């Protein structure tokens, strides 16, 4: 795959996934009492709802800014790993209900792979 094609695919994914995380972060903030309650029902501190909502919102914005793509994607990978674990262990519906988290996790990993710095062959 040419560098131009790789960059185009990466940029499209960054925008789509970034917008998804902005949406989810805003959604959590818009219904914060329910979000805090949901976290509490899972045995998590309610304050974590604020942290996750902010991280999703800021991570989504970070995916839209080329300089911050990799750190934003890495942070969001950690959040999605937590989401997948919670779906597998505590959230009714199991992993089937957490399919969106799994898809976002995979797309974030693809973004990380596609946006890694190009290496120059030694020789």
| pLDDT band at residue 4 under the 50/70/90 scheme | confident
For residue 121, name the pLDDT band (cuts at 50, 70, 90).
Answer: low
Residues 5 and 46: their CA atoms lie apart, in Å, by: 43
pLDDT of amino acid 105? 97
Q: Which of 3, 79, 70, 5 is nearest to 44 (CA)?
A: 79
**DSSP of 15-83:** HHHHHHHHHHHHHHHHTHHHHHHHHHHTT--THHHHHHHHHHHHHHHHHHSGGGHHHHHHHHHHHHHHH
The predicted pLDDT at position 98 comes to 85
pLDDT at 123: 58
Instruction: Give me the phi and psi of 98, to 5 degrees please.
Output: -100, 20
Least confident of 23-27, 57-61, 91-95: 91-95
Separation between Cα atoms, residue 58 and residue 99, nearest integer Å: 22
Q: What is the pLDDT of residues 5-57, one digit of tens each?
A: 888 999 999 999 999 999 999 999 999 999 999 999 999 999 999 999 999 99
pLDDT of residue 122: 64
| Full-model pTM | 0.89
Range in 46-55, 80-89, 113-122 with the lowest mean pLDDT: 113-122
**pLDDT score of 69:** 96
Q: Find all residues with CB under 8 Å of 33, minimum gap 6, and list them.
A: none
Choose among 120, 22, 115, 45: nearest CA to 73.
Answer: 115
Q: What is the Cα Rg of the chain in Å?
A: 16
């Amino acid at each position: 795959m040419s560098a131009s094609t790789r960059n185009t695919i990466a940029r499209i994914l960054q925008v789509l996934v970034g917008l998804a995380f902005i949406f989810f972060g805003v959604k959590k903030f818009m219904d914060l009492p329910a979000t805090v309650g949901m976290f509490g029902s899972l045995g998590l501190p309610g304050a974590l709802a604020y942290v996750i909502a902010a991280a999703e919102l800021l991570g989504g914005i970070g995916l839209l800014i080329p300089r911050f793509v990799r750190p934003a994607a890495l942070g969001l990978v950690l959040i999605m790993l937590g989401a997948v674990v919670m779906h597998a262990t505590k959230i009714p519906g199991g992993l089937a209900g957490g399919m969106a988290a799994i898809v976002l996790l995979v797309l974030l990993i693809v973004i990380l792979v596609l946006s890694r710095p190009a290496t120059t062959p030694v020789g």
